[in-house]
Chains A and B, each alone.
Chain A
Amino acid sequence: MAAATPATHAPAQPLVRLEGISKHFGAVAANADIHLDIHPGKVLALLGENGAGKSTLMAILSGRYRPDAGRILVHGRPADFASSRQAIAAGIGMVYQHFMLASRLTVAENVLLGQEGAFLLSPRKMQAQVAALAEEYGLALDPAARVADLSMGERQRVEILKLLHRKSRVLIFDEPTAVLTPGETAQLFAAFRNLTSRDRAVVFITHKLEEVLEVADEVAILRRGRVVETLPRSRVSTGRDLACRMVGREVLLTVDKAPLAPGEEVLRVENLSGEGLDDVSLDLRQGEILAVVGVAGNGQKPLVEVLAGLAPPREGEVLLLGHPWSEFYTRPSWRGSLCYIPEDRLGLATMPGMDVVDNVLLTTRRGFSRGPLLDLGRAKTVVRDLVEEFNVHPRDPNALAWQLSGGNLQKLVLAREFYRDPRIILAEQPTQGLDVAATEEVWERLLLARRTAGVLLVTGDLNEALQLADRVAVMFRGRIMDTFPAADREKVAGIGPLMAGVRPGESGA
């Protein structure tokens, strides 16, 4: 474990202070009453699950969004950023996950763009200037290279140089290691150290526990739009500790569920490996919900992709309703088969510019076809009933998908998929970003659906998993660490360590 610099308490004045920041998107509070101090010379990790509000918070700080309430103080003075340009002028810069670089231009040109100095450019002088800056901060880069020829880690360094050239005091990184190799990650963390030793502040958004332990001086933990905890690194001992704090155990909602007698097996995965998966085995029966939990990025996505038919299994066997994967997906039946409720509601699940009827037909059209023609009249009648039954607002079947709120869109997706009488339901983060009322409705639908189907619930919300699931499987680095009944209190208490890769009886990592 890398030793972080000890957190000295009560530093004089924060560089930036966030006071009571709130931001709503529709009925959902992305940020609620957030207080946060950013100190010079410190690496602050913003830790939270997907949808916890990290990115929104940083978009506010970097001037892309305006908060609904609260204020930002820079050096103790209130600042109101109308654009990222103003935030940069105030010394706050952001490195986005998608780099803002023109790939045909050189490193030097990208760094100096907009601040070139004289009318006539001398490539040699520009490169020397950028080389000096890179040297000063120990960022290895060839300033004459074209960005297109650089690795992701090098491109990220170009972004850092851009901010340094603009005299940024606070550098914000949005999941900076997502695109990096382990070696590049180590280099990035060394750069963090270098920056903070020069009194810059680094804020980085992550959901990877080991990174927090390795490089952060302070940790702010976000959950459902709130900062639930801010603590110095010295008070965090293990990844297990962080995992527990991150996923939380507070019960927001409870649902009644009576166990059902498990029916026949609908899904069996044996020794599935490849694409980030490592020897995954699981089984699912009709009448039960199996929750797959874990910190995001530990293999949930590739698992879902294989099961949903988006990617073929590399190694191992997948049996869907008793058929091998390739056979099942050669001629999948639209009805009485498998349905998929993707995490990406407006991208993968629906077509934003098409109306409700057309979106329902996306996966159910075979139920409404007469030869090559679609029976739109009947489709509309069915959709009207579905919208009523699933309480989707507006009730208008001609509303466009993008006009629906997140909760209503999700209910529409459920209505569509459940109309197919599925035997296997693949639900991926089904309540992420939804308000309490919509969450409750989605939960009830899933519990109801379990009577006729087996439900595989992939979620980062531990509370959701424990409320709904009959059994829980914990994933870490592509492996299923353990699978156990949700009623097993002892095992449930050990989920946090398991999510951090620690089996009971082992010491913390």
Chain B
Amino acid sequence: MNPDLIVPLLAAAVQSGTPVLFATLGEMFTEKAGVLNLGVEGMMLCGALAAFVTSLYTGSPVLALAAGGLAAALVGALHGMVCLVFLGNQVVSGLALTILGTGLADALGTPLVGRTAPGFGPLRLPVLGDLPVLGPAFFQQDALVYLSYLLVPAFWFFFARTRPGLRLTAAGEYPAAAAAAGLDPIALRWAGVLGGGFLVGLGGAYLSLAYTHLWTSNLTAGRGWIAVALVIFAAWRPGRAVAGAWLFGGIMAFQLRLQAAGTTLPSSLLLMLPYATTVLVLVVAALRRGASRGSDAPEALSVNIEPED
């Protein structure tokens, strides 16, 4: 194959996969603490809008990024209230959160449709960016993509090698054991909901600050749902989340290229391709895993912590 074709496709795959990667890691963080949050799509959109508005009025992409994360964490806090305080059903609450978040971002963002805001541009890394093939594919990206490169090992390190990581895992595996060890599993789950929400918000912010630089309705186009699916595909491991997110990004980029090249295939079919592939990959992964052993999910995932006695 021609490297002149492959390299831009790889670069586009990474760029297109990065928002999904952030959101996947965010949802994974929350789920590791035992809370299932199906509100990713809505939180992502709210993060995207908050980042866009902040960038529009302050001109600072960094501030905008933080605003995106905080906004999504704030929306996620609603889920925390329902599940951790009132012990509501996590599935229902998450679905409601998606509906709320998408509606909210849509309503508040209507006057902004079509406007552009400053964001993150390409940033060629010294030395690495000059490598053949790898350079243009991976190291001539924007700052947020590099942040996602760092985030993946950091995510692994946090859960495998730090005290809060271990405690968060315990809250997701067996909250009663955490409580018996003198910890507060409810507080730990709050940390999971808010921390994960922040990461999801970064994914949303990437869409409005780096991917498009402009506001349109339904900017996420289902990427939040893809993230929820990829957490399962990745078996709650950050390294595999990268593979899933970039695969999704790659097919997204590929079908865009096909459309641009003027194929005779209907565009709606092409648009469906990344999502259909995700479903297919998920099914294959589930079949393979099901044959070998049980689930990789945290044991107490989506199980609320009932008060004792």
Chain A residues with a Cβ under 8 A of chain B: 64-65, 84-85, 88, 100-105, 109-110, 113-123, 162
Contact = CB atoms under 8 A, between A and B. Distances in A.
B84 interface: no
B178 interface: yes
B172 to A, nearest CB: 9
Contacts of B181: 113-115, 162
Given A88-B182, A114-B167, A103 B161 contact: no
Given A116-B166, A121-B162, A101 B177 contact: yes
Given A84-B180, A102-B174, 7 more contacts: A65-B309, A102-B170, A103-B299, A104-B299, A109-B170, A114-B178, A120-B161
B239 to A, nearest CB: 18
B177 A119 contact: no
Interface string B158-188: 0011111111011001101110111100000
Nearest first, the 8 A-B pairs at minimum CB distance are: A114-B181, A102-B173, A102-B174, A100-B180, A113-B181, A100-B177, A116-B163, A114-B182
B306 interface: no
Nearest to B175: A102
Interface in B9-48: none
Contact of A105 (B164, B169, B176, B180): B169
Contact of A103 (B160, B163, B174): B174
B308 interface: yes
15 contacts: A64-B308, A65-B309, A85-B182, A101-B174, A102-B173, A102-B174, A102-B178, A103-B299, A104-B169, A104-B173, A104-B298, A109-B170, A113-B183, A114-B181, A116-B163
Contacts of B178: 102, 113-114
Name the residue among B162, B163, B298 with the largest chain A CB count within 10 angstroms.
B163
A105 B170 contact: yes
A119 B166 CA distance: 10
B141 to A, nearest CB: 30
Contacts of A123: 160-161
A85 B183 CA distance: 9
Contacts of B183: 113-114
Contact of A109 (B166, B182, B299, B308): B166
Contacts of A115: 181-182
Contacts of B176: 100
A123 B159 CA distance: 12
Contacts of A104: 169, 173, 298-299
Given A114-B182, A115-B181, A121-B161, A103 B173 contact: yes
Name the residue among B167, B176, B298, B308 with the largest chain A CB count within 10 angstroms.
B176
Contacts of B169: 102, 104-105
Contacts of A121: 161-163, 165-166
A62 to B, nearest CB: 10
Contact of B163 (A64, A100, A118, A162): A118
A120 B167 contact: no
Interface string B259-299: 00000000000000000000000000000000000000011
A119 B163 contact: yes
Contacts of A100: 174, 176-177, 180
A109 B308 CA distance: 24
A113 B161 contact: no
A173 to B, nearest CB: 15
Interface string B119-143: 0000000000000000000000000
B168 to A, nearest CB: 11
